[in-house]
Amino acid sequence: MSNELVLAAQPNSEIILNGVDHTNELTRVAVTAYLDDLPSANSKSRMEYVLSNVARRFDWNDPFTFPWHKLTYLTINKFKNHLFTLSSMTQSKESVEESNMLQSLAPNTSNLYLAAIKGVLSHCFRLQLIDAHTYMLIKEVKPVKGTRAPAGRELTPQEIELLVEQAARFPPFRAARDAALVLLMTDLGLRREESVGLSMASFNKYERTMRILGKGNKERVLELSPRALAALHKYLALRGDQPGPLFYRTNRNNQVHPKSLPLGVSGVRNALEHLQAIAGTQKFSPHDLRRTFATNLLNAGVDILIVQRLLGHSDLRTTQRYDKRDEQKMRDALRKLHI
């Protein structure tokens, strides 16, 4: 733990009822309530990981018992500065995994940590673990400024075709499922969580559309491209039209799981990584298929507000991160300079 990161003793920060200290119990309630407010299981898992990292910076193992109510404006500001400078500090082997996350997108990641802390403390305030003055000061902690070049990449049309071709190496069910998965994620701009959340009820075969439930419980209905529709029909011919998840998990023999279990988010990543390995393409993440969808639309001249709706973004600034047309113009300008 950094010597700067210490918890302050807060006056009247314990809740005593009938001679029993309920502070730890209410702290657990505050953390649980914050996580329960998050829109998806993936968000909950990620933010619990973030809260665990925060607690560990104070030599505390369990975020549910960490005394969040003892954090002050000054302590959180010091913690913010600690996050900002962490990438230049010497890390122990035990902290490498943690620091990798903090270094990946420094300002955004630091602000994610601040948002998590403030989120828990908002519930601490509601539970009367901190007073109004303390909470008001905590809300005044400013975010970290700065940007980083967006991670990830777009896949070329040739790479997408190659992935679909290589899926045919698997037994028929796995081959059809993975080809449909690649094309639906690419041509509909699906997040991993959205792809595994699809069910047979999501597909309207008459209108050739897919109903997608995204972040924040926001729903959008998108029309399938001809190639995605063809791949989906080929997969459904093997899957059948019985109700349930659209994409089934496979067993070790690459056949449909006997219990008809749904494909999970880790299963999506594993399937795509396997296809990438046998296709020999440059590595990519599942989200890069969504990035490819957005980039193709923007390069085709589609209005960015329409792209925002197609992606299901609440904030236009999120969509703008996918827009790399200015980067291409800069590359073209540099090439002219060196001619």
Tell me the mean pLDDT per 10 residues along the chain, length 339: 51 46 82 92 90 92 94 92 57 42 62 95 95 95 80 92 96 96 98 96 97 91 97 97 95 81 94 96 95 93 94 90 76 71
How far apart are the C-alpha atoms of 188 and 231, rounded to whole Å?
13
In the chain, DSSP finds a helix count (H) and a strand count (E) of 15, 5
- Residue 173 domain flag: yes
119 and 170 in a single domain? The answer is: no
- Residue 11 domain flag: no
What's the confidence (pLDDT) of residue 338?
65
Residue 20 buriedness (CB in 10 A; 0-12 / 13-18 / 19+): exposed
Domain final residue pick, 106, 139, 172: 139
What's the confidence (pLDDT) of residue 41?
80
> Measuring CA to CA, how many Å separate 217 from each of 194, 213, 225, 312?
11, 6, 24, 10
CB atoms within 10 A of CB 259: 8
What's the confidence (pLDDT) of residue 83?
75
What's the confidence (pLDDT) of residue 328?
72
Residue with tokens 């998990």: 249
Model pTM greater than 0.75? Answer: no
Please choose, from the candidates 197, 162, 209, the residue with its C-alpha nearest in 3D space to the C-alpha of residue 182: 162
Domain final residue pick, 111, 139, 167: 139
State which residues form the domain around 309. 157-336
Number of domains forming the structure of the chain? 2
Catalytic sites, residue numbers: 191, 215, 287, 290, 313, 322
What's the confidence (pLDDT) of residue 39?
81
183 and 324 in a single domain? The answer is: yes
How far apart are the C-alpha atoms of 316 and 299, rounded to whole Å?
17
- Residue 132 domain flag: yes
What's the confidence (pLDDT) of residue 265?
92
